[in-house]
Amino acid sequence: GQNIDQPTEMTATEGAIVQINCTYQTSGFNGLFWYQQHAGEAPTFLSYNVLDGLEEKGRFSSFLSRSKGYSYLLLKELQMKDSASYLCAVRDSGGYNKLIFGAGTRLAVHP
Amino acid sequence: DGGITQSPKYLFRKEGQNVTLSCEQNLNHDAMYWYRQDPGQGLRLIYYSQIVNDFQKGDIAEGYSVSREKKESFPLTVTSAQKNPTAFYLCASSMDYGYTFGSGTRLTVV
Report the alpha-carbon distance of residue A101 to residue A2 in Å, rounded: 10
Nearest to A97 among B58, B94, B102 (CB): B94
Chain A partners within 8 Å of B88 (Cβ)? 40
Residue range A11-68, pLDDT digits in tens:
999 999 999 999 999 888 999 999 999 988 999 999 999 999 999 999 999 999 999 9
Contact assessment for residue A75 and residue A60, using Cβ atoms and an 8 Å cutoff? yes
For the residues of B80-103, what is the DSSP string, one character each?
TT-S---EEEEEEEEETTEEEE--
Interface probe, candidates A49, A87, A92, A97, chain B, greatest B C-beta count within 10 A: A97
Contact assessment for residue A107 and residue A38, using Cβ atoms and an 8 Å cutoff? no
Q: Do B99 and A41 touch (CB under 8 A)?
A: no
Report the alpha-carbon distance of residue A61 to residue B51 in Å, rounded: 34
Interface probe, candidates B9, B101, B108, chain A, greatest A C-beta count within 10 A: B101
Q: Any chain B CB within 8 A of the CB of A93?
A: no
Specify the amino acid at residue B56. Q
Residue range B96-108, pLDDT digits in tens:
778 999 999 999 9
Q: Any chain B CB within 8 A of the CB of A46?
A: no
Q: Which chain B residue shows the shortest CA-CA distance from A42?
A: B103
Phi, psi of A26 (to 5 degrees): -130, 155
Report the alpha-carbon distance of residue B50 to residue B99 in Å, rounded: 13
Interface probe, candidates B33, B36, B45, B103, chain A, greatest A C-beta count within 10 A: B45
Averaged pLDDT, A92-111: 90
Nearest to A87 among B42, B94, B98 (CB): B42
Q: What pLDDT is stored for residue A100 in this prediction? A: 92
Chain B partners within 8 Å of A87 (Cβ)? 42-43
Residue range B81-95, pLDDT digits in tens:
888 999 999 999 998
Q: What pLDDT is stored for residue A68 in this prediction? A: 96
Surface-to-core class of residue A66, CB atoms within 10 Å of its CB (0-12 exposed, 13-18 middle, 19+ buried): middle
